Amino acid sequence: MSQPTDFFTAVASLGKIEQLDVDTMRLLYRIERSGEDFYNMIADRIGDEESAVLLRQNGREERGHAERVRKAIGIKLGHAYEPTAQDLENFPVPLPDAIPPEVLPVIVQGEIDGDAGYQKWADRESNPEVQALLRQNGREETRHGERVREVIALLSKRNPA
Protein backbone atom coordinates (compact mmCIF):
# COMPACT_ATOMS: atom_id res chain seq x y z
CA MET A 1 0.00 0.00 0.00
CA SER A 2 1.43 3.41 -0.94
CA GLN A 3 1.69 5.96 1.85
CA PRO A 4 -1.12 8.53 1.92
CA THR A 5 -0.06 12.14 1.64
CA ASP A 6 -2.95 13.88 3.39
CA PHE A 7 -5.92 13.23 5.65
CA PHE A 8 -8.39 12.56 2.85
CA THR A 9 -6.23 10.06 0.96
CA ALA A 10 -5.44 8.34 4.26
CA VAL A 11 -9.14 8.03 5.15
CA ALA A 12 -9.91 6.74 1.64
CA SER A 13 -7.25 4.06 2.02
CA LEU A 14 -9.12 2.61 5.01
CA GLY A 15 -11.90 1.39 2.73
CA LYS A 16 -9.55 -1.20 1.28
CA ILE A 17 -8.50 -2.62 4.65
CA GLU A 18 -10.35 -5.81 5.51
CA GLN A 19 -8.48 -6.72 8.69
CA LEU A 20 -6.26 -4.69 10.97
CA ASP A 21 -2.66 -5.65 11.59
CA VAL A 22 -0.15 -3.54 13.49
CA ASP A 23 0.90 -1.53 10.42
CA THR A 24 -2.66 -0.67 9.42
CA MET A 25 -3.45 0.16 13.05
CA ARG A 26 -0.53 2.60 13.04
CA LEU A 27 -2.08 4.25 9.97
CA LEU A 28 -5.45 4.33 11.74
CA TYR A 29 -3.78 5.89 14.79
CA ARG A 30 -2.43 8.73 12.61
CA ILE A 31 -5.78 9.21 10.91
CA GLU A 32 -7.64 9.45 14.22
CA ARG A 33 -5.07 11.94 15.55
CA SER A 34 -5.49 13.97 12.36
CA GLY A 35 -9.27 13.78 12.78
CA GLU A 36 -8.93 16.16 15.70
CA ASP A 37 -7.29 18.69 13.36
CA PHE A 38 -10.01 18.07 10.75
CA TYR A 39 -12.84 18.91 13.13
CA ASN A 40 -11.04 21.85 14.74
CA MET A 41 -10.31 23.34 11.32
CA ILE A 42 -13.96 23.00 10.31
CA ALA A 43 -15.02 24.55 13.64
CA ASP A 44 -12.68 27.49 12.98
CA ARG A 45 -14.24 28.04 9.53
CA ILE A 46 -17.93 27.28 10.12
CA GLY A 47 -18.90 30.79 11.24
CA ASP A 48 -21.26 29.64 13.99
CA GLU A 49 -20.08 29.27 17.59
CA GLU A 50 -22.71 26.73 18.69
CA SER A 51 -21.84 24.55 15.70
CA ALA A 52 -18.14 25.00 16.42
CA VAL A 53 -18.62 23.65 19.96
CA LEU A 54 -20.19 20.46 18.57
CA LEU A 55 -17.45 20.05 15.99
CA ARG A 56 -14.68 20.54 18.55
CA GLN A 57 -16.29 17.87 20.73
CA ASN A 58 -15.98 15.48 17.78
CA GLY A 59 -12.33 16.50 17.47
CA ARG A 60 -11.59 15.71 21.11
CA GLU A 61 -13.21 12.31 20.70
CA GLU A 62 -11.12 11.62 17.59
CA ARG A 63 -8.04 12.06 19.80
CA GLY A 64 -9.64 9.54 22.18
CA HIS A 65 -10.09 7.14 19.27
CA ALA A 66 -6.38 7.42 18.55
CA GLU A 67 -5.58 6.53 22.15
CA ARG A 68 -7.81 3.45 21.97
CA VAL A 69 -6.08 2.39 18.75
CA ARG A 70 -2.71 2.90 20.49
CA LYS A 71 -3.91 0.63 23.32
CA ALA A 72 -5.10 -1.95 20.80
CA ILE A 73 -1.68 -1.92 19.11
CA GLY A 74 -0.09 -2.56 22.48
CA ILE A 75 -2.42 -5.51 23.10
CA LYS A 76 -1.49 -6.98 19.73
CA LEU A 77 2.22 -6.47 20.41
CA GLY A 78 2.02 -7.80 23.96
CA HIS A 79 3.52 -4.62 25.46
CA ALA A 80 2.70 -0.92 25.70
CA TYR A 81 3.05 0.74 22.33
CA GLU A 82 5.03 3.95 22.09
CA PRO A 83 4.28 5.73 18.81
CA THR A 84 7.18 6.63 16.56
CA ALA A 85 7.84 10.19 15.43
CA GLN A 86 6.12 9.33 12.13
CA ASP A 87 3.08 7.95 13.98
CA LEU A 88 2.81 11.25 15.88
CA GLU A 89 2.94 13.30 12.68
CA ASN A 90 -0.60 14.32 11.77
CA PHE A 91 -1.64 14.24 8.14
CA PRO A 92 -2.20 17.64 6.53
CA VAL A 93 -5.90 18.45 6.19
CA PRO A 94 -6.41 20.47 3.00
CA LEU A 95 -9.65 22.36 3.65
CA PRO A 96 -10.92 25.49 1.91
CA ASP A 97 -11.07 28.78 3.83
CA ALA A 98 -14.86 28.53 4.01
CA ILE A 99 -16.81 25.33 4.58
CA PRO A 100 -19.65 24.95 2.07
CA PRO A 101 -22.83 23.54 3.67
CA GLU A 102 -23.07 20.77 1.06
CA VAL A 103 -19.92 19.14 2.48
CA LEU A 104 -21.57 18.46 5.86
CA PRO A 105 -23.79 15.55 4.69
CA VAL A 106 -20.65 13.99 3.17
CA ILE A 107 -19.02 14.16 6.62
CA VAL A 108 -22.11 12.53 8.17
CA GLN A 109 -21.85 9.66 5.68
CA GLY A 110 -18.12 9.36 6.32
CA GLU A 111 -18.76 8.92 10.03
CA ILE A 112 -21.44 6.29 9.41
CA ASP A 113 -19.01 4.49 7.10
CA GLY A 114 -16.35 4.80 9.80
CA ASP A 115 -18.59 2.99 12.28
CA ALA A 116 -19.23 0.23 9.75
CA GLY A 117 -15.49 -0.12 9.16
CA TYR A 118 -14.73 -0.38 12.85
CA GLN A 119 -17.47 -3.00 13.32
CA LYS A 120 -16.12 -5.01 10.36
CA TRP A 121 -12.61 -4.92 11.81
CA ALA A 122 -13.91 -5.91 15.24
CA ASP A 123 -15.78 -8.85 13.68
CA ARG A 124 -12.49 -10.08 12.19
CA GLU A 125 -10.43 -9.53 15.33
CA SER A 126 -9.66 -12.52 17.56
CA ASN A 127 -8.73 -10.58 20.72
CA PRO A 128 -11.81 -9.57 22.76
CA GLU A 129 -10.06 -6.53 24.28
CA VAL A 130 -9.16 -5.20 20.85
CA GLN A 131 -12.70 -5.96 19.63
CA ALA A 132 -14.16 -3.88 22.46
CA LEU A 133 -11.88 -0.92 21.72
CA LEU A 134 -12.74 -1.02 18.01
CA ARG A 135 -16.48 -1.28 18.67
CA GLN A 136 -16.39 1.67 21.05
CA ASN A 137 -14.62 3.80 18.44
CA GLY A 138 -17.22 2.75 15.87
CA ARG A 139 -20.16 3.71 18.06
CA GLU A 140 -18.61 7.11 18.63
CA GLU A 141 -18.15 7.61 14.88
CA THR A 142 -21.93 7.35 14.51
CA ARG A 143 -22.33 9.90 17.33
CA HIS A 144 -20.01 12.21 15.42
CA GLY A 145 -22.29 11.94 12.41
CA GLU A 146 -25.27 12.77 14.64
CA ARG A 147 -23.49 15.89 15.90
CA VAL A 148 -22.74 16.97 12.33
CA ARG A 149 -26.47 16.53 11.61
CA GLU A 150 -27.10 18.89 14.55
CA VAL A 151 -24.71 21.38 12.93
CA ILE A 152 -26.64 21.09 9.67
CA ALA A 153 -29.91 21.78 11.53
CA LEU A 154 -28.42 24.76 13.39
CA LEU A 155 -27.03 26.30 10.22
CA SER A 156 -30.30 25.69 8.35
CA LYS A 157 -32.24 27.56 11.06
CA ARG A 158 -29.82 30.46 10.99
CA ASN A 159 -29.47 30.60 7.23
CA PRO A 160 -32.73 29.43 5.65
CA ALA A 161 -32.46 28.91 1.91
Residue 77 structural domain: 7-158
pTM of the predicted model over 0.75: yes
Give how many domains the chain has, as a whole number: 1
pLDDT (0 to 100) of residue 75: 98
pLDDT (0 to 100) of residue 158: 78
CA-to-CA distance for 156 and 3, rounded, in angstroms?
Answer: 38
Question: Looking at the domain assignment, is residue 120 inside a domain?
Answer: yes
pLDDT (0 to 100) of residue 135: 98
Half-sphere exposure of 149 (CA within 13 A, CB side): 11
CA-to-CA distance for 78 and 73, rounded, in angstroms?
Answer: 8
Question: Looking at the domain assignment, is residue 1 inside a domain?
Answer: no
Question: Looking at the domain assignment, is residue 12 inside a domain?
Answer: yes
Per-residue pLDDT of the chain (161 residues; tens, 9 = 90+): 568 999 999 999 998 899 999 999 999 999 999 999 999 999 999 999 999 999 999 999 999 999 999 999 999 999 999 999 999 999 999 999 999 889 999 999 999 999 999 999 999 999 999 999 999 999 999 999 999 999 999 999 877 76
E strands within the chain?
none
Which amino acid does the sequence have at 11?
V
CA separation, residue 100 to residues 57, 106, 109, 113 (Å): 20, 11, 16, 21
CA-to-CA distance for 108 and 142, rounded, in angstroms?
Answer: 8
Residue 50 neighbours by CB under 8 Å, 6+ apart: 154
Question: Looking at the domain assignment, is residue 2 inside a domain?
Answer: no
pLDDT (0 to 100) of residue 101: 87
* Element at 31 (helix H, strand E): helix 22-45
pLDDT (0 to 100) of residue 161: 62
| CATH, residue 154 | 1.20.1260.10
